[in-house]
């Protein structure tokens, strides 16, 4: 990554409230290089130009960190559901190193990439898991065991709420990264929100610095204990979305 691109990253992060030190710039640089290298062998991202990786993946991922920092939730147990190539989980971990991070994806080869990134970046306290959200959310080890769940570009909101409901503890948060469809998605998610013991706190409209990209982050709070029947099996979620 050349100096101008690194400066774009540094300034963009600063505008979002994160002053990056040299080690953090190194971590983002290595991450970007690994993403481009591995993308030649496997499908990780359609975005391969450096500035775009910074804007659309790194800074975009940090938008959720703004909410966590504002709430003083920087030392949380956080799970990224359907993390793919590590978004938004890894950028959040780089700027909030006190986070205990779990990265979950249903594709094994993506998990291998995540392990390599975490090792080369020297990230501590990160667990990479291969599995399906709706199955792991029923297991004692994971069920309602996280302070925060985050997820970007994984499923329509009613389905995504069910995937993430299994992980978030009472009083914990779920941050859904969504595009402009968020207004309609919230409209069709009312039943899911109430059945899954969530309440809607707010939707943050985030503009990524020096770009015209906008992302909405809707923050849900878990207000009660999740009924045992949720999350349901994938076939049921698909056939009868809440
Ligand atoms: C479009 S990608 C988005 C990846 C990343 N969150 C991002 O924003 O770049 C969706 C990812 O979710 C994963 N996924 C889809 N359904 C899942 C499920 N039920 N449990 C775990 N991972 C899932 C897929 O394997 C894929 O890597």
Measured in Å, residue 214 CA sits from the centre of ligand 1 at 20
**One digit per residue, pLDDT tens: the chain, 242 residues?**
888 889 999 999 999 999 999 999 999 999 999 999 999 998 888 888 899 999 999 999 999 999 999 999 999 999 999 999 999 999 999 999 999 999 999 999 999 999 999 999 999 999 999 999 999 999 999 999 999 999 999 999 999 999 999 999 999 999 999 999 999 999 999 999 999 999 999 999 988 877 778 889 999 999 999 999 999 999 999 999 99
Atom of ligand 1 nearest to the CA of 107: 25
| Three-point CA angle 202, 179, 199, nearest 5° | 25
User: What's the pLDDT at 47?
Assistant: 85
Measured in Å, residue 82 CA sits from the centre of ligand 1 at 3
Longest Cα separation, the chain: 52
Atom of ligand 1 nearest to the CA of 154: 10
Atom of ligand 1 nearest to the CA of 110: 27
Please give the model's pTM, rounded to 2 decimal places.
Answer: 0.97
Q: What is the predicted ipTM?
A: 0.99
Distance separating alpha carbons of residues 80 and 222, to the nearest angstrom: 16
Query: Which residue's entry shows tokens 């938004």?
Result: 88
CATH number of 3-239: 3.40.50.150
Domain ranges of the chain: 3-239
| Binding pocket residue ranges, ligand 1, CB within 6 Å | 82-85, 87, 104-107, 110, 132-134, 152-154, 163
Q: Is 152 known as a binding-site position?
A: yes
Residue with the smallest CA separation from ligand 1 atom 14 is: 82
Mutate to test the pocket of ligand 1, among 48, 105, 108, 152 (most ligand atoms within 8 A of CB): 105
Residue with the smallest CA separation from ligand 1 atom 12 is: 82
Residue with the smallest CA separation from ligand 1 atom 8 is: 152
Distance separating alpha carbons of residues 236 and 12, to the nearest angstrom: 42
Q: Is 82 known as a binding-site position?
A: yes
Sheet holding 168-178, edge to edge: 126-130, 100-105, 77-81, 146-152, 168-178, 214-222, 198-207
């Amino acid at each position: 990554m050349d100096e101008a691109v690194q400066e774009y990253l540094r300034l963009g992060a600063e505008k979002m409230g994160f002053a990056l030190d040299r080690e953090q710039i190194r971590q983002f640089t290595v991450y970007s290089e690994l993403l481009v290298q591995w993308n030649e062998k496997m499908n990780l991202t359609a975005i391969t130009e450096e500035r775009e990786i910074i804007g659309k993946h790194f800074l975009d991922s940090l938008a959720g960190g703004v909410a966590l920092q504002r709430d003083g939730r920087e030392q949380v147990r956080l799970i990224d559901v359907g993390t793919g190539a590590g978004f938004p989980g890894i950028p959040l971990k780089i700027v909030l190193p006190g986070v205990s991070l779990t990265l979950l994806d249903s594709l094994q080869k993506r998990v291998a990439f995540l392990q390599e990134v975490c090792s080369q970046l020297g990230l501590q306290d990160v667990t990479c898991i291969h599995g399906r959200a709706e199955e792991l959310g029923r297991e004692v080890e994971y069920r309602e065991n996280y302070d925060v769940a985050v997820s970007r570009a994984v499923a329509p909101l009613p389905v995504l709420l069910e995937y993430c409901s299994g992980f978030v503890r009472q009083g914990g948060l779920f941050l859904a990264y969504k595009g402009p469809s968020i207004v309609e998605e919230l409209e069709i998610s009312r039943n899911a929100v109430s059945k899954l013991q969530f309440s809607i706190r707010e939707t943050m409209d985030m503009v990524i610095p020096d770009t015209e990209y906008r992302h909405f982050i809707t923050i849900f709070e878990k207000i009660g204990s999740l009924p045992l029947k949720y999350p349901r099996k994938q076939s049921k979620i698909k056939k009868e979305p809440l």
